[in-house]
Amino acid sequence: MNESEKTFSVKARNMSALAALSVVVIHAGNGGMGSFTAKMLHQFFGWGLCTFAVPWFFFASGYFFAAHLDEKGWWIRAVRTRLRTLVLPYVVWCTLFACFAAVLMIWQNLDAERSVLAGLSWRWLVMRGFGLDVSEHPLLVPFWYIRCLMVIVLLSPVLVWALRRGRWLVPAAILPAYVYCCGLHNRYAMPWFVFYSFLSLAGWLYFSVGVLARRGNWSARSCRVPSWMCWGVALVAICVGRLALYREMPVLANCLWIAGVPPLMLGFWRLVPERPWPVWLVSSAFPVYALHYFFEHFLESVVLPLAHPAWWAYAMRAGIVVLLSIWVAQMLHKLRTRESRVLFGGR
């Protein structure tokens, strides 16, 4: 690994830690906000600034995936590695969350325990709990990304074949379908093909761009677009897009949301330092991603079942979940047991 690749790897780890915390901020608004100010903060930060997070995960996955494409048997090794780092943690965490959700549901309905138990069919728990129902996200919602990434890795020989022949024509061909399905055709506030589909068009788009960036020795330093322009375009897209959503113009809001993610990602990349952040923070990226939804769901369902009317409710909820997730992640890391390595895919 040369010096440029080492620098990229350090920045990428820092960026992934920032992205994991951003996912927490996105989900901190679950259950609704009680005041107009809190709703606007959630729209600007949660569905605005923080939306670079999952596209970044796909891009980084494609970038590091491409490092071994010239090696013999690369696909077998890629699948074998991700069975340990993706599939095994996926199964463990989805099992834990399905049990957690079932217990929480019963706890919330103690007076009607029999009817709740009757409604908890094993088929529903298995299909939704493990994300086997491809028309829906898993019960542990953030893990839709892991499900989609594993599908991309399994089908990667087809993608790599196309990228070697068409190069940038491949993401260029995906982009119109992405815009149509997520922006023009979708009438909801958050595009379904981005967040719920196991064949996420956003995933294929950013993963393929990551592969091409690695194959072309891409460096963010070589990009001549200044930071102020990246942030300017991103902030305009966020603000106008959120206003369009408020004015019940979802098509415009979705298209601006799609257009704002790349400059937003590049803007954050320019801000992330090249020196490594503290180990406790960087090592918490995947644990925070896996753990935070437990706390979010508990706060939403039990502690704060009704949206708090104060404007600071959103920031308070996000702060609580971030601190709890990092604290529990560090406690599990300190165990240094085989179980903790399985939980976090060896991270």
What's the pLDDT tens digit per position in 195-216?
556 778 889 999 999 999 988 8
SS3 content of the chain, % helix, strand, coil (to 5): 75, 0, 25
- d(Cα 292, Cα 93) in Å, to the nearest integer? 12
In the predicted structure, residue 217 carries a pLDDT above the cut 90: no
In the Cβ-directed half-sphere of 303, how many Cα atoms lie within 13 Å?
Answer: 12
In the chain, where are the structural domains located? 3-343
pLDDT at position 235: 92
In the predicted structure, residue 1 carries a pLDDT above the cut 70: no
pLDDT at position 264: 93
- d(Cα 150, Cα 146) in Å, to the nearest integer? 6
| Range in 37-51, 269-283, 290-304 with the lowest mean pLDDT | 290-304
Mean pLDDT value of segment 77-83: 90
Q: Is 30 helix (H, G, I), strand (E, B) or coil?
A: coil
Cα Rg, the chain, nearest whole Å: 20
- d(Cα 51, Cα 270) in Å, to the nearest integer? 16
Of 281, 311, 294, 336, which Cα lies nearest the Cα of 93? Answer: 294
What's the pLDDT tens digit per position in 36-67?
777 788 888 888 889 999 999 999 999 999 98
| Range in 26-40, 167-181, 223-237, 264-278 with the lowest mean pLDDT | 26-40
pLDDT at position 251: 80
Determine whether 341 is exposed, middle or buried from the number of CB atoms within 10 Å of its CB (0-12, 13-18, 19+). middle
pLDDT at position 52: 93
Looking up tokens 């991603």, which residue turns up?
289
Q: Report the predicted TM-score, pTM, of the whole model to 2 decimal places.
A: 0.88
Mean pLDDT value of segment 239-249: 84
pLDDT at position 117: 47
Share of the chain above pLDDT 70, in %: 80
Check: CB of residue 20 under 8 Å from CB of residue 286.
yes
What's the pLDDT tens digit per position in 92-148?
999 999 888 877 777 666 544 444 444 556 677 778 778 887 777 888 889 999 999
- d(Cα 73, Cα 345) in Å, to the nearest integer? 22
Chain CA centroid to CA 316, Å = 21
Give me the phi and psi of 21, to 5 degrees please. -65, -35
Whole-number mean pLDDT of the chain?
A: 81
pLDDT at position 268: 93
Mean pLDDT value of segment 308-316: 73
95-98 long-range contacts, CB within 8 A, separation 24+: 95/129, 95/130, 97/129, 97/139, 97/140, 97/293, 97/294, 98/125, 98/128, 98/129, 98/130, 98/139, 98/140
